[in-house]
Amino acid sequence: MTEDDPLEPTGVDAGPDETTEADRYLQVEEVPETAPTDDRTWRTRLAESVPSSRRTLKYAVAITVAVLWIVPFIGLFMASFRPLSEIIGGWWHLEGMSITFENYYQAWNYSTAPLSRALLNTFIVTIPAVLVVMLLGVMAAYPFARFEFPLKTTLFFLILLVMAAPPELVAMGNYNSLQRIGLFDTYMGLILIHIGWGLGWVVLFLRNYLLGIPEELEEAARIDGASRYQIFRTIILPLSTPALVSVAVIQFTWVWNAFFFPLVFMRSPELYLAPQVLPLMRGRVQVEWGMIAAGSIMTMAVPVILFLLLERYYKRGMVAAVAD
Amino acid sequence: MSLQDRIDALDTDRDLSVDFDFDREKAVALAVFLIPGLTLFGIFSVGPIVYSAIGSFFAWDTFTMEHFVGLDNWIRSLTDPLIVHWSNMQEFRYPMGALTHNLLWVVVHVPASTFLGLGLALLFADLKGRRILRSMVFAGFTVPPIVIGLVLMFIYDPQAGVFNELLRVLGQDHLVRNWTQSPQVAIYALIAGGIWVHTGFSMLLYSSALSAIDPSLIESAKVDGAGPWRRFWDVIWPLVKPVTAVVVIMGIIWVMRMFDIVYAAGGAAGGPNHAYSVLGIEVYRAAFRPEIDYGMAMVVALIQLFIVAPLALYIARMR
């Protein structure tokens, strides 16, 4: 074979296959007399099959780094099960360790705002905020991906602008409008704000995903006489399920973890959300580390477990949301 | 789709709007799909931003808009020592103002978390069990940021904190202190915590870029006798370079929005005497803590947007 000529078309470009049966097999005279010599000596072979010390070192470093990375969380976890005196002495001292659920009991029934109630409130706000954003988001994303309509570009710019804006920027306007319509300090008010805030990235994310779905499927359905709504329901919705799961996981985590919006819009202690309650648990004199740790573990358990269960969707969605 | 495409599409929009008028069925469908979402988006996101932009030029009686005052709020806010504290900056003494603190976050946090993220992505790239290793590093990013702030207070606590214990073990007892409450060093302690959380995110983006590289490229570079250093610069780096822009910009956006971690450590004042307050904290304090100063809150929040918006548009253009 001659050298690769970059200008010579290869593969599909090379036109109809011109090789004949004879070309595909070695001719008898081309068969070499001796077996090909091994390009690797037994020494290099052996070295390559046994993990090198270099590679072992790499594993050791990687595992050490990863473990060190979660040491603060291990500390938090340990502290949540130990009495305050032992925490102050250092959670890393394992001798004489006593395990207690007192911290969880205290946090669950915390006098200012019991975490039992706060966690329930967080669910009450998060679940509708996620479901409605998913539905409205995919509905709005569909025209953005498929149709031309006036003001499309303007709307696109507005979405980008809102995605860049800090949540603090919408707090003042929303505070006044919620006061005016009487939804301030209610579940509904906070849910609406989370929906309005989340729609921007969800529409953009789902639009990018829908652009990747081939249009031929819809064409075929349209020829069969399906309406736009039928196409949306029977083709677009099922095909966008993976993207919708990503949206659900990420939006759930963000709404659950949100601290600023509840801080501004939820003022009655019985409506406090879990992230709002945690900083209140700092005592005046001695910081109640045990209770804070137990409360933190309970609050972070939900998004972390969700992440571990749907890790693939979470990571893929995260990457697609920012990198696509 | 790049921004340029969008601009080109603007012209097509106009052409199409002619026959759009005749297509009643399509118009109805568009309305059904778009109006519910866009209404909520308009009322709770775009509306308040416009409201803030207009309100920043008006005088405020607590929550009520009064009369037009031109640039008064802007001048007052930008000369407020809580935003930029010139005299302290000259002596390099905290507090130096929320804007300065935010920029310091950008300067220290963003490069550090980017390099660490790339480093960990490369380290984990071809190991068995890399999914678990990555998840361990990334997990912090899924934890509520307010918990991160409390965890940082816990780590830096003089008695119960593991960081101070580490100093003691290393024989640096004179350094032991309550790091988050010491005005002159607290911001670095918090930035270290920010890097700890955010590196997982940078690593995730780099990991997905690395896994998209054809392994045969690296293999052939190996065969050609390129060492790890050459392989990185000549093969890997050119391919992950575009991701770096995204990582850096997302880092800047994350840092400019910083609120929860600082609030957990320092409350609405952003630490003792605003020692490590950031712009988000100043917006909250001006808008919802007495003395309420809506005008200033709006100006500061708009400054946050102005710093970040061009970067977000740059990402959009890159596509």
HEC profile of A228-263: HHHHHHHHHHHHCHHHHHHHHHHHHHHHHHCCHHHH
**Inter-chain residue contact A292 with B264, CB threshold 8 Å:** no
pLDDT confidence band for B104 (50 / 70 / 90): very high
- Contacts of A65 by beta carbon, 8 Å cutoff, 6+ apart: B120, B123, B137
- Regarding whether B220 and B156 lie in a shared domain, the answer is yes
Per-residue model confidence (pLDDT) at position B14: 47
Neighbouring CB atoms inside 10 A of B297's CB total 27
**Inter-chain residue contact B16 with A228, CB threshold 8 Å:** no
Class in CATH terms, A115-323: mainly alpha
Mean pLDDT (chain B, rounded): 86
Sorted by where each begins, the domain ranges of chain A are 42-108, 115-323
- Regarding whether B117 and B232 lie in a shared domain, the answer is yes
Residue with more model confidence, A294 or B217: A294
Interface of B with A in 78-97 (CB under 8 A): none
Instruction: Please compute the mean of the pLDDT values over residues B52-64 and round it to a whole number.
Output: 89
Per-residue model confidence (pLDDT) at position B64: 85
Domain's final residue, options B52, B78, B104 = B78
Residue B8 has pLDDT above 80, yes or no: no
Domain's final residue, options B41, B59, B78 = B78
- Regarding whether B186 and B140 lie in a shared domain, the answer is yes
A289: closest chain B residue by CA = B154
Q: Contact, B6 vs A152, CB < 8 A?
A: no
Token pair of B142 as six digits:
């899924």
Residue with more model confidence, A85 or B147: B147
- Regarding whether B218 and B181 lie in a shared domain, the answer is yes
Phi, psi (deg, nearest 5) at residue A271: -105, 0
pLDDT confidence band for A295 (50 / 70 / 90): very high
- Regarding whether B141 and B71 lie in a shared domain, the answer is no
**Inter-chain residue contact B147 with A136, CB threshold 8 Å:** no
Percent of chain A with pLDDT over 70: 84
**Inter-chain residue contact B205 with A160, CB threshold 8 Å:** no
Residues of B in contact with A199 (CB under 8 A): 37, 40-41, 45
Residue A14 has pLDDT above 50, yes or no: no
pLDDT confidence band for A46 (50 / 70 / 90): low
- Regarding whether B190 and B110 lie in a shared domain, the answer is yes
Instruction: Give the pLDDT confidence of B223-250 residue by residue, as tens digits.
Output: 888 778 888 888 888 888 888 988 999 8
Q: Contact, A154 vs B9, CB < 8 A?
A: no
Interface of B with A in 206-235 (CB under 8 A): 208-209
- Regarding whether B63 and B205 lie in a shared domain, the answer is no
Q: How many domains does chain B have?
A: 2
Give the bridge partners for B68, in sequence order.
B58
The DSSP-derived string for B119-177 is HHHHHHTTSTTHHHHHHHHHHHHHS-HHHHHHHHHHHT-TTT-HHHHHHHHTT-GGG-S
Interface of B with A in 126-155 (CB under 8 A): 127, 131-133, 135-140, 142-147, 149-155
Alpha-carbon distance A74 to B50, whole Å? 45
Instruction: Please compute the mean of the pLDDT values over residues B196-222 and round it to a whole number.
Output: 88
- Regarding whether B142 and B7 lie in a shared domain, the answer is no
- Regarding whether B278 and B163 lie in a shared domain, the answer is yes
pLDDT confidence band for B1 (50 / 70 / 90): very low
Instruction: Give the pLDDT confidence of B114-154 residue by residue, as tens digits.
Output: 999 999 999 998 888 888 999 999 999 999 999 999 999 99
Domain's final residue, options B27, B61, B78 = B78
The nearest CA of chain A is from the CA of B205 a distance in Å of: 6
- Regarding whether B74 and B201 lie in a shared domain, the answer is no
Output the domain CATH number for residue B203. 1.10.3720.10
Residue-number span of the structural domain to which B172 is assigned: 86-318
Instruction: Please compute the mean of the pLDDT values over residues A62-67 and round it to a whole number.
Output: 91
Cα distances (Å, whole numbers) of residue B218 to B12, B234, B237: 44, 10, 12
**Is the ipTM value over 0.90, yes or no?**
no
pLDDT confidence band for B19 (50 / 70 / 90): very low
pLDDT confidence band for A50 (50 / 70 / 90): low
Cα torsion B143, B147, B149, B151: sign: negative
CA atoms within 13 A on the CB side of A197: 23
Residue with more model confidence, A43 or B139: B139
Phi, psi (deg, nearest 5) at residue B74: -65, -50
Cα distances (Å, whole numbers) of residue A13 to A9, A16, A20, A150: 5, 9, 18, 42
A139: closest chain B residue by CA = B33
Mean pLDDT (chain A, rounded): 84
The nearest CA of chain A is from the CA of B247 a distance in Å of: 9
pLDDT confidence band for A9 (50 / 70 / 90): very low
Return the closest-CA partner of residue B98 out of B294, B276, B302, B291: B276
Alpha-carbon distance A157 to A176, whole Å? 25
Task: Quote the distance between the C-alpha of residue B138 and its chain's center.
Answer: 16
The nearest CA of chain A is from the CA of B4 a distance in Å of: 11
The nearest CA of chain B is from the CA of A16 a distance in Å of: 29
In chain B, what is the greatest distance between 2 CA atoms, to the nearest angstrom? 81
Residue A13 has pLDDT above 50, yes or no: no
Instruction: Give the pLDDT confidence of A241-282 residue by residue, as tens digits.
Output: 999 999 999 999 999 999 999 999 999 989 999 999 999 888
- Contacts of A312 by beta carbon, 8 Å cutoff, 6+ apart: none
